[in-house]
Amino acid sequence: MGWFIAITLTVLTCLLLIIFARLPRQMWSLPCAAGALALAGYAHQGSPDQPASYAQRITESVDVAQELISIRQEMDFDFGAAKRYLILSDSSAKNGDYKFAAAILQNGLTKYPNDAELWGALGLQLLLASEGKLTEPAQLAFAKSRKSWPKGPVPDYYEGLASLFEGKVDEAEALWKNMLKNGSKNAKWRKRVERQLEQLEKLKQS
């Protein structure tokens, strides 16, 4: 998990520098190079595969995983028989046990196999467990969520985020625009996604 948080913070920092400092395209390599140097230092000094060292100090100031879970909670319904599985899973995930969090959701899906929220939450937990990589199991979970709730926001949001981490800005933009198209005008998450799309647009125009 150390690498996922470190890379996430580096990507977001580079994006913010490019967007708000209004760097021309030919200078984008500067913050990216600085980020690469930071990651190199992290690899040398921080033992990124050891969750008890540098990764802990990062999460004390910015807990990326908890933020991603909180965003998903904004997209949930406030009712449903499967809600208790989401609560238990989120509690485990916020303690860093993503595999156990995923197991709780899988248990819930044996009882509620068509629950879109459980499938979407499972996709996120699998994403976290794989350090941000959109693995085949995560893709399958998001596909199941989308099948049960075609206009649900969770699959588009997290698949878009994974695309952004891979540098696929256009793909992320398309997924997030689809969220806005399908979502309610009063959705809790709407302003967040609108801001992120504005940032992506500024990034493409720089």
Of 62, 83, 106, the residue that ends a domain is 62
Find the DSSP H helices in the chain. 2-20, 29-45, 54-61, 64-74, 83-93, 98-111, 116-129, 136-148, 153-165, 169-182, 190-205
Residue 131, token pair as written in the block: 């350090």
Of 16, 41, 62, the residue that ends a domain is 62
The domain of 7 spans 1-62
Residues 178, 95 share a domain: yes
For the cut 50, the answer to whether the pLDDT of residue 206 exceeds it is: yes
Residues 96, 187 share a domain: yes
Residues 118, 94 share a domain: yes
pLDDT level of residue 77 (50, 70, 90 thresholds): confident
pLDDT level of residue 3 (50, 70, 90 thresholds): very low
CA atoms of 178 and 81, how far apart (whole Å): 28
Residues 155, 74 share a domain: yes
Residues 28, 124 share a domain: no
Residues 112, 86 share a domain: yes
Q: What is the pLDDT of residues 61-73, one digit of tens each?
A: 336 677 788 889 8
Longest pairwise C-alpha distance within the chain: 54
Residues 74, 53 share a domain: no
Closest CA to 167 of 5, 6, 14, 1: 14
The arithmetic mean of pLDDT across residues 108-124, rounded, is: 95
pLDDT score, position 179: 95
User: Which of 51-60, 65-74, 89-98 has the lowest average pLDDT?
Assistant: 51-60
Closest CA to 142 of 130, 164, 129, 125: 125
Q: What is the CATH number of the domain that holds 124?
A: 1.25.40.10
Q: State residue 186 phi and psi, 5-degree precision.
A: -100, 10
pLDDT score, position 159: 93
For the cut 70, the answer to whether the pLDDT of residue 60 exceeds it is: no
For the cut 50, the answer to whether the pLDDT of residue 80 exceeds it is: yes
The arithmetic mean of pLDDT across residues 162-186, rounded, is: 89
**pTM of the predicted model over 0.85:** no
For the cut 50, the answer to whether the pLDDT of residue 135 exceeds it is: yes
DSSP letter at 149?
A: S
Residues 154, 52 share a domain: no
The arithmetic mean of pLDDT across residues 81-95, rounded, is: 89
Q: What is the pLDDT of residues 19-31, one digit of tens each?
A: 444 444 444 444 4
The residue that leads in pLDDT, 148 or 42, is 148
Of 42, 62, 82, the residue that ends a domain is 62
Residues 160, 111 share a domain: yes
pLDDT score, position 49: 43
For the cut 60, the answer to whether the pLDDT of residue 76 exceeds it is: yes
Q: What total number of domains does the chain contain?
A: 2
Residues 71, 31 share a domain: no
Kindly give, in sequence order, each residue whose CB lies less than 8 Å from that of residue 66, ignoring residues fewer than 6 positions away.
94
pLDDT score, position 13: 52
Residues 17, 98 share a domain: no
pLDDT score, position 141: 97
The arithmetic mean of pLDDT across residues 159-188, rounded, is: 89
Closest CA to 137 of 83, 97, 99, 91: 99
